[in-house]
Amino acid sequence: MPDGPLLHPDEGELLRYADGELSFWRRLRLRRHLAACWQCRAALAELERTIGECVRYRRQVLARCVPEPPEPWFDLRRRIEQWEAERAEVSLARRLWVRLAPGALTPQRLAVAVVLAALVWAQATLILRNREAPRPAPVEAAPAPAPLASPPPRAEPPPASPRPKATVAGPSAAPVEMATAGDELRVFALLRRLGADLGEPVEVSRQGGRVVVAGTGVSPEVERRLTAELGTAPRITLRFAAPASEVPPPAARGVVTAELRPETARLLAGLEQQLGGRANAEQALGELLEANDTLLAHLHALRRLAERFPPEVEAQLAVSERRLLAGLLAEHGAGAAALAASLEARARTLFAPGSLAAVESFPGVGVSWQEAAAELLRLARGAESRLATMLEGAATEESPGAPVREWLAELARLRVETEAFRRRFAE
């Protein structure tokens, strides 16, 4: 799935995750992704191994193979006391100046000032002579930057991760018949039956007269069943890339320590108070993301069907195939509607307890189910970015609750639209 929740993070993002530099929202998302993705866990483990080498290098090489300081370290306390004494002298001189300055300088005052200045100068000279090192310059207010000629380009392509050799199953003889949209539809139906169209990285396409079912890091059970069902089917090619051989355990919770923005911290503090602790709050947010991801997976599956079976292709399907397609729409439509309703209810319980769900009706979905599916996915993505905004702490001081309200409004709209889709196309 090219643009769903399964997008693999690049190496820079993995490093920022390992370094605790990701925002709260990205951290939650990535942690969930890592729990599911062997490939990325293996990549993270490789990063951690290199970081471990760096730490060892610091301990074994840097700490021991550079020369020791040539002299014993100075007595910092003594230096500080000298500075304090000097500061006291300067302060005295300033107080005297304040006393003398306001009125007109009479000859008597001038004489006193000269004598005092001479005394202060003599004392300061004495202190300066006693000092072993020059007086420190005032502390720099800002560091002198070492400017870059140009910022490093961010568009550098990520390094190619080692891709295992693809295994190809299926008949090797040239196809005698071209694969049809119906063949492709039957593959989608099979994926639905196996539950492999919600989150599994399986791509279906038609290439060179065959339906190609491809995936990298597909779970072994799904791969086994797909091979059993489709391995000998005509006009079908299976391409699976084996996952990385070394799979580390999922990243432990609490490894990352990114500081929360104040708004996010406030939001979490409210949740913690409501649910009785940080762990419960994070678990509740995790469940919310889980529901959100599953909803998005249904909507992605719908959108994928819409892309593969536009009206002109749909019109060429046989009656039985149309029935099959309608069955898929019904399953995804019902799943999406139920999840949208549950997501909104859960969100209201967590973030706006006691509030009532919006009851207003929205305009009906698009004219065709294909357009409606695309619109639903757009809405769900909008709601997800709103949630991200909320957890990124983009609320303003003037209206700290605005992102929450906007998110709940988007969820309400999503609920209404998915329900409308279900009634119109999925019953």
Partner 1 sequence: MLSDALEDGYLHVAQRRSESALQERVERLFVELRSDVYRYLLSLGLYPPQAQEATQEVFLRLYIALREGKETIRNPKAWIFRVAHNYGLKVRARTAWEQPYDPEVAARLADPEITPEMSLLERERARRFHQAVENLSVQQRRCLLLRLEGLRYPEIGAALGISASAVGEFLRRAIARLRSLTDA
Tell me how far, at minimum, the Cβ of 144 lies from partner 1, in Å. Answer: 5
- Which residue in 2, 77, 107, 361 binds partner 1 (CB under 8 A)? 77
Tell me how far, at minimum, the Cβ of 77 lies from partner 1, in Å. Answer: 6
165 binds partner 1 (CB under 8 A): no
143 binds partner 1 (CB under 8 A): yes
Cβ pair 276, 331 in contact under 8 A: no
Give the relative orientation of helices 369-392 and 402-425 as an angle to the nearest 10 degrees: 160
Close Cβ partners of 381 (under 8 Å, ≥ 6 residues apart): 296
Query: Tokens standing for 158?
Result: 């990520």
- Residue among 26, 12, 16 nearest 384 (CA): 26
One-letter amino acid of 118? A
Query: Is the CB of 71 or the CB of 398 nearer to partner 1?
Result: 71
Give strand pairing partners of 241.
166, 216
Close Cβ partners of 329 (under 8 Å, ≥ 6 residues apart): 302, 305, 369, 425, 426
User: CA 281, CA 367: separation in Å to the nearest integer?
Assistant: 41
- Which residue in 94, 95, 154, 165 binds partner 1 (CB under 8 A)? 154
Query: Is the CB of 64 or the CB of 129 nearer to partner 1?
Result: 64
Query: Tokens standing for 365?
Result: 């979905």
- Which residue in 2, 159, 249, 354 binds partner 1 (CB under 8 A)? 159
- H/E segment holding residue 215: strand 210-216
Tell me how far, at minimum, the Cβ of 53 lies from partner 1, in Å. Answer: 5
Burial class of residue 135, CB neighbours in 10 A (0-12, 13-18, 19+): exposed
- Residue among 311, 292, 305, 306 nearest 379 (CA): 292
Query: Is the CB of 115 or the CB of 128 nearer to partner 1?
Result: 128
Interaction with partner 1 in 83-102: which residues (CB under 8 A)? 83-84
Interaction with partner 1 in 340-359: which residues (CB under 8 A)? none
76 binds partner 1 (CB under 8 A): yes
Binding mask 18-57 for partner 1 (x = CB under 8 A): -xxx------------------------xx-xxx-xxx-x
Considering only 59-67, 90-98, 164-172, 283-291, which stretch makes contact with partner 1 by CB under 8 A? 59-67
Query: Is the CB of 80 or the CB of 105 nearer to partner 1?
Result: 80
Query: Tokens standing for 270?
Result: 């409210």
Residue carrying structure tokens 């199953």 = 169
193 binds partner 1 (CB under 8 A): no
DSSP code string of 274-305: HHTSHHHHHHHHHHHHHHHHHHHHHHHHHHHH
- Which residue in 103, 107, 151, 353 binds partner 1 (CB under 8 A)? 151
Q: Where are the alpha helices (DSSP H) in 145-259?
A: 181-194, 220-230
Tell me how far, at minimum, the Cβ of 153 lies from partner 1, in Å. Answer: 8
CA torsion angle 186 189 193 195 (round to 10):
120
Query: Is the CB of 18 or the CB of 284 nearer to partner 1?
Result: 18
Considering only 65-73, 262-270, 280-288, 329-337, which stretch makes contact with partner 1 by CB under 8 A? 65-73
- Which residue in 104, 122, 126, 139 binds partner 1 (CB under 8 A)? 139
Close Cβ partners of 234 (under 8 Å, ≥ 6 residues apart): 171, 175, 177
Tell me how far, at minimum, the Cβ of 301 lies from partner 1, in Å. Answer: 34
Tell me how far, at minimum, the Cβ of 63 lies from partner 1, in Å. Answer: 7
Query: Is the CB of 67 or the CB of 254 nearer to partner 1?
Result: 67
Tell me how far, at minimum, the Cβ of 146 lies from partner 1, in Å. Answer: 5
Cβ pair 291, 343 in contact under 8 A: yes
Residues in touch with partner 1 (CB under 8 A): 11-12, 15-16, 19-21, 46-47, 49-51, 53-55, 57-58, 60-71, 73-74, 76-77, 79-80, 83-84, 133, 136, 138-141, 143-148, 151-152, 154, 159
